[in-house]
Amino acid sequence: MFEFLMSEAVYKFVRGPLVWIAFFVCIVGSAYRIYSMISLAKKEKVLLPYLSLKYGLRSILHWIIPFGSINWRRHPIITIVTFLFHICLVFTPIFLLSHNILWYESWGISWWTLPESTADIMTLIVVFSCVFFLFRRIIASEVRFVTYPSDFLILTIAFLPFITGFLAYHQLLLPYRAMTILHILFGEAMLIAIPFSRIIHMVFGWFTRAYTGSEFGMVRHVRDY
């Protein structure tokens, strides 16, 4: 098993075609989900006419700013962890030096990168946030009551690329090559999972928020934050 993981062939595969497949599935899959959602929404004749750019954005703005909405203010710890988790989850992979090197090697493009020590801390933030969410799921009764195996799966999908990335960078536990291959595989799994799981909230959340914001702002004339 190890030798297989360590093999050049596997590395080449996960580093090459599988990256293409993962990004393709993620982007095309998510685009298709948006397309089918909007098609369905058009059939519900009373839905799209109530959308308002102004109030949709007002609502999004209040909810993507930490403590910008009433419920974020009510739960300071959850708010801090949630924001740190999502910021680190999204931006660490994009601005990581080693990822940039890969892009540069493949396509000759690169951009600003995070200092390595900062990236390291951000990775750990994701890892510990996952642990926090796991315990919250188990301990808080209102969360436990609505927890399904799929919730743990989603958490695991988010957890694995970061923990393996961390271990690979620090060359811990497994040989570097093996850990790197695992890291790439889990990263690709996450990309592929986006359109097929409730990780799709990263795509749909903007739409649901904008719709409710529009209803509350334009029709109901009240705040939704």
Distance in Å, CB of 163 to other proteins, minimum: 21
Listing DSSP states for 8-35 in one string gives: HHHHHHHHTHHHHHHHHHHHHHHHHHHH
Q: Which is nearer to other proteins, 3 or 43 (CB)?
A: 43
Distance in Å, CB of 57 to other proteins, minimum: 13
Q: Which is nearer to other proteins, 37 or 102 (CB)?
A: 37
User: Burial, 67: exposed, middle or buried (Cβ in 10 Å; 0-12, 13-18, 19+)?
Assistant: middle
List of residues 6+ apart from 199 with CB closer than 8 A: 154, 157, 158, 190, 193
Q: Which is nearer to other proteins, 187 or 213 (CB)?
A: 213
Q: Which is nearer to other proteins, 128 or 207 (CB)?
A: 207
Distance in Å, CB of 62 to other proteins, minimum: 10
Distance in Å, CB of 147 to other proteins, minimum: 6
Cα 210 vs. chain centroid, distance in angstroms? Answer: 19
Q: Which is nearer to other proteins, 50 or 103 (CB)?
A: 50
Distance in Å, CB of 141 to other proteins, minimum: 5
Enumerate binding residues for other proteins (CB under 8 A). Answer: 37, 40-41, 43-47, 49-50, 59, 63, 69-71, 74-75, 78, 140-148, 151, 154, 198, 200-201, 204-205, 207-209, 211-213, 215-216, 219-225
In degrees, rounded to 5, the angle at the alpha carbon of residue 128 between the alpha carbons of residues 126 and 131 is 110
In degrees, rounded to 5, the angle at the alpha carbon of residue 206 between the alpha carbons of residues 46 and 79 is 130
Distance CA 134, CA 165 (A): 20
